Amino acid sequence: MKKIIFHIDVNSAFLSWEAVYRLAHKGSALDLREVPSAVGGDVTKRHGIILAKSIPAKKYGVQTGETLSEARRKCPDLLLAPPNYGLYRECSAAFLGILREYSDLVEQYSIDEAFVDMTESCHLFGAPEETAGQIKDRIRDELGFTVNIGISDNKLLAKMASDFRKPDLVHTLYREEIPGKMWPLPVSDLFFVGRATAKKLASMGLVSIGDIAGADPGWLRAVLKKQGETIWGFANGIDLSPVLAAPAPNKGYGNSTTTPFDVTDTETANLVLLALSETLGNRLRADGAKIGVVSVTIRYRDLSCFSHQKTLVSPTDLTLEIYHASRELFSRLWNGEPVRHLGIHTGGAGREASGRQMSLFDEIDYEKLALVDRTVDSLRRRFGADVVKRAVFLNRAIDHMCGGVPESSAGA
């Protein structure tokens, strides 16, 4: 049976979700999507970066990832909204809920993207394009924001198709359509080709995706190593990765997040890991559980996923102990490529009735750390998750308690 894969991508996700929330729940008469606007940073202190921008802002040259001051120089009247990650997770869950009505195989690729394997279920709803149009229209009519949907027989081509003309559209990219629809595009449009690689390819005379597809794969591998082989395969529409639905819950605790921008440095990665550890530690303590194994998972832009784990000396529920273990694992695992998804998962979870086994060589006051964690937990339960946050998160684009548990339910 021929595979039918959809890739669903929310158009200007953070900006769209903020706009819909203001229109539906705050009584605003202004649609942020229709004016030069953006989501990002600390608006009052003019720090941070642009996380999402409207189409009118894009016409001024405003780009995702640039600083607020750079964006304001391009568009002095740019309307800025602070990020609201709790809202974004709720919107993400809502559109994923609709997708799961059409297939059991839904893989969340990021907070605003998902792959759906429609091979077994598409016939229940109609032809692929008809079904995709139905999903697209339901999301727009029921949730208030728009998506693009790409259709193909593998994940790579479906994702490429969803990036064609936007917004609120359905596109196909079947194998027979590759020469006409994909090969004329510039190399920078190919998945896994960043600015540096695109520049290097151009210096080699490869300016279109078709140029890469027609090149000698052995030569590309010799010049670009593993990446050369990968992009040659992508340029020819080759992708064997399956759509993976979320695994069944187990006795471990886990937390992961897709960052609003690709992580390219250790400092930012450590900040994300600390935020994940905050939420994870909070959940462990709320359940009276401790874990004995910590695992870190990295997902790169090319869909590849890698993980590494370590066994702790003593079971723990301490935020900083989980963080230090995950930071160590990340430093061993990371290959230097841009990261868009990070996760911390644990094993050996259980109720720990007895106290911690102390050592003469301990340099950390675990009792003091435990007291601090529980005091902070208590304050957050009473006054909200944002009442206490570490200073390192001030004026940063990373939420101080990110991952799978929204702020409104942290500690519950």
**CA 385 to CA 246: how far, in whole Å?**
27
What is the total residue count of the chain? 412
- The span from the CA of 320 to the CA of 374, in Å, is 13
pLDDT of 402 > 80? The answer is: no
Please state whether the peptide bond connecting residue 184 to the residue before it is cis, i.e. omega within 30 degrees of 0.
Answer: no
Average pLDDT over residues 114-130: 95
Question: Which neighbouring-strand residues pair with 5?
Answer: 117, 152
**Mean pLDDT of the region 143-158:** 96
Report the C-alpha gap between 358 and 165 in whole angstroms. 61
pLDDT of 310 reads 87
Mean residue pLDDT of the chain comes to 86
CATH of domain 254-409: 3.30.1490.100
DSSP of 208-255, one letter per residue? BHHHHHHS-HHHHHHHHTHHHHHHHHHHTT---PPP-PPPPP-SS-EE
Where are the chain's structural domains? 1-179, 183-235, 254-409
Asked whether this chain's domains 1-179 and 254-409 adopt the same fold, the reply is no
User: What pLDDT is attached to residue 276?
Assistant: 93
Distance CA 328, CA 279 (A): 19
Average pLDDT of span 23-48: 80
- Single pTM value for the model: 0.65
The Cα angle at residue 104 between residues 167 and 237, in degrees rounded to 5: 55
**Which is nearest to 404 in space by CA: 258, 289, 298?**
258
341: tokens are: 């998804």
Residue 403: which pLDDT band, with cuts at 50, 70 and 90? low
30, 4, 7, 6: which is closest to 19 by C-alpha? 30
Q: Report the pLDDT value the prediction gives residue 68, as an integer from 0 to 100.
A: 85
- Residue identified by tokens 């990021």 is 110
Give the closest residue to 264 by CA, choosing from 190, 344, 335: 335
- The confidence score (pLDDT) of residue 387 equals 81
Most confidently predicted of 10-14, 189-193, 393-397:
10-14
**Among this protein's residues, is 113 annotated catalytic?**
yes
The CATH number corresponding to 183-235 among 1.10.1530.10, 3.90.1150.10, 3.30.1490.100, 1.10.150.20 equals: 1.10.150.20
Query: Each residue of 276-333: pLDDT tens digit?
Result: 999 889 888 888 888 888 999 998 877 677 888 888 888 889 999 999 999 999 999 9
The pLDDT of residue 353: 46
| Residue 188: exposure state from Cβ atoms within 10 A (0-12, 13-18, ≥19) | middle
Largest CA-CA distance found in the chain, in angstroms, rounded: 70
Which residues make Cβ contacts (< 8 Å) with residue 93, sequence separation at least 6? none
- Cα separation, 246 vs 195, in Å, equals 32
pLDDT of residue 248: 43
Q: What percent of the chain has pLDDT over 90?
A: 50
Nearest to 320 by CA among 357, 359, 284: 284
Q: Which of 113, 278, 321, 407 is catalytic?
A: 113
The beta-carbon contacts of 139-145 under 8 Å, at least 24 apart in sequence, are 139/95, 139/98, 140/168, 142/98, 143/20, 143/91, 143/94, 143/95, 143/98, 144/20, 144/23, 144/24, 145/10, 145/11, 145/13, 145/16, 145/17, 145/19, 145/20, 145/91, 145/95
- Note the CATH architecture for domain 1-179: 2-Layer Sandwich (3.30)
Average pLDDT value for residue range 91-104? 94
User: Which helix H or strand E contains 383, and what residues bound it?
Assistant: helix 366-383
Residue 303's pLDDT is 62
**Residue 392 pLDDT > 50, yes or no?**
yes
For residue 49, is pLDDT > 50? yes
Q: For 241-278, what is each residue's pLDDT tens digit?
A: 899 886 544 456 888 887 777 889 999 999 999 999 99
Place 406 in a pLDDT band, splitting at 50, 70 and 90. Answer: very low
